[in-house]
Amino acid sequence: MKAYIFFFTKHGGETALKINEALLQEGVESRVFTTVRQVEKNKLFETSPHGFSVLAAEAFSQKNVLIVVGAAGIAVRLVAPLVKRKDSDSPVLVADEKGTFVIPLLSGHIGGANEIARMLARHLGAVPVITTATDVNGLFAVDEWAARKGFFLSSLKAAKDFAASLLARGSAGVVSDFPLTGSLPPGLTEGIHEEAGMAVTVRTDTHPFAKTVCVYPPFLHVGVGCRRGKSVEDLEGYIREVLEMSKLSPLSVADVNTVDVKADEKGLIECAERFGVPLRTYSPGELMKVPGIFTTSDFVRSQVGTDNVCERAAAAAAKESVPLVRKQHRDGMTVAVFVEKKEISWK
């Protein structure tokens, strides 16, 4: 995460420098932009001949944090043409030039603007002005939690319905395929007796509540073997078919795994890119050392040095996992899916 800080006045520059220092202490790289009149007052200050609107668009295109030190109206007008979707917009915050208030304006939960506001307020001795309903009422925000954990939501509408029900009733249920550690967040109760609830799962057929928001952790490891020259369309299509057949969410795929002799396979490289995950490769020796019971083939071993590629590669991706889909094969492709055994903390 990087941050762009904009300011326009002398006092604004003082607060911008404090924000820059706070971000540095938190490990966040930032750049400070200002007007031509102010830029010479500190070597950290930058300006742009193209103006603030171009810089704001650049920040949005790179999913960077945008912090405006000045009036909220300036920030609103600056980003208004750039606002698209709450799951893709950059976090936008505004701080007054004295550093008295820090206000998250956009992407408070998914983008983390609320948490950034709280962090900056601690450093500045400011007041974080948080206006999202779940925060104001001290209740659990599923979209913020999922974003912080690197998990994915089944849909923004489902998350909105969940939040609305939680606010109206004061409680919502939770079920999980994985052990959840720590104290339950405010408003959540274990079990399926509530009208609305969240399901932490890798499956697409888990809807235990009348209003269910599924939270998909990236715990699925896909193992793939293939003949040379298989196209990305063939590989991606077959993996998605196997996932759909098994009622597993593509949003939970963590990586694509194979033997190292396939590391330069164009179709596999592009397939992993389409899933938005890394392609991981292992030597035949590494795969043969993976403990477990696998679907073996003497022919495969004679060709690549390991008796199974897809299952062993999927299992190699996690310290501890179990098979959900054993070796499937079609048209010179093999696919297996293992799920990582993992605890999930509420923190």
Whole-angstrom distance, CA of residue 82 vs CA of residue 54: 11
Structural domain contains residue 70: yes
My answer on whether 7 and 127 are in the same domain is yes
Report yes or no on 205 lying in a domain: yes
- Give yes or no: residues 224 and 334 share one domain: yes
Token readout for 278 is 């890394």
CATH number, domain of 336, equals: 3.30.420.180
Q: What value does the mean pLDDT take over residues 96-118?
A: 96
Residue 36 has pLDDT above 80, yes or no: no
Of 200, 216, 232, the domain-final residue: 216
The answer to whether residue 153 is domain-embedded is: yes
What is the band of 110 on the pLDDT scale with cuts at 50, 70, 90? very high
pLDDT in tens, 186-218: 999 999 999 999 999 999 999 999 999 999 999
Asked if residues 92 and 75 have their Cβ atoms less than 8 Å apart, the reply is yes
- Contact of 271 with 296, CB cutoff 8 Å: no
Q: Could you tell me if 194 and 230 lie in one domain?
A: no
Residue 37 has pLDDT above 80, yes or no: no
pLDDT digits (tens, 9 = 90+) for 146-164: 999 999 999 999 999 999 9
| 131, 162, 185 - which closes a domain | 131
Task: Verify that 198 and 224 share a domain, yes or no.
Answer: no
At which of 191, 216, 241 does a domain end? Answer: 216
154 and 69 both lie in a single domain = no
Residues 270 and 287 reside in one and the same domain = yes
Helices (H), the chain: 10-25, 36-39, 52-61, 72-79, 113-124, 133-136, 142-149, 156-169, 232-245, 266-275, 284-288, 298-304, 310-316
Say which CATH number the domain at 73 has.
Answer: 3.40.50.11220
* More confident of the two residues 46 and 220: 220
Label residue 338 by pLDDT band (50, 70, 90): very high
Stated pTM of the model: 0.85
Both 114 and 210 in one domain: the answer is: no
Q: What is the pLDDT of residues 239-279, one digit of tens each?
A: 999 999 999 999 999 999 999 999 999 999 999 999 999 99
Which among 21, 50, 47, 19 is positioned nearest to 34, based on CA atoms?
47
**Structural domain tally of the chain?**
3
Q: What is the pLDDT of residue 87?
A: 86
More confident residue, 39 or 116: 116
Question: Is 137 a member of any domain?
Answer: no
Q: Alpha-carbon distance 190 to 175, whole Å? A: 6
- Flag whether 113 is in a domain: yes
- Residue of 93, 111, 185, 199 whose CA lies nearest to 148: 111
Residues 112 and 78 in one domain: yes
Residue 272 Cα distances to 229, 250, 261, 266, 309, angstroms: 15, 12, 16, 10, 16
Q: Tell me whether residue 143 is in a domain.
A: no
Range of the domain at 196: 149-216
Tell me whether residue 19 is exposed, middle or buried, using C-beta atoms within 10 angstroms of its C-beta: 0 to 12, 13 to 18, 19 or more.
Answer: buried
Q: What are phi and psi of 6, to 5 degrees?
A: -110, 140
**Of all residues in the chain, what percent carry a pLDDT higher than 70?**
99
Same domain, residue pair 173 and 104: no
Residue 38: pLDDT band (50, 70, 90) is: confident
Q: Is the residue at 347 inside a domain?
A: no
Task: Give the pLDDT mean for 135-151.
Answer: 95
- For position 1, what pLDDT does the model report? 84
What pairs with residue 105 in β-bridges? none
Residue 211 CA to residue 157 CA, distance in Å, equals 10
**Percentage of the chain with pLDDT > 90?**
93
* Phi/psi-derived region of residue 305, left when phi > 0, alpha when psi is between -120 and 50, beta in every other case: left
Q: What is the pLDDT of residue 44?
A: 86
pLDDT band per the 50, 70, 90 thresholds, residue 167: very high
Q: Is residue 172 classed as helix, strand or coil in its secondary structure?
A: strand
Give 8's DSSP letter: -
Total Cβ atoms within 10 A of residue 302: 9
Neighbours of 284 (CB within 10 A): 18
121 and 161 in a single domain? The answer is no
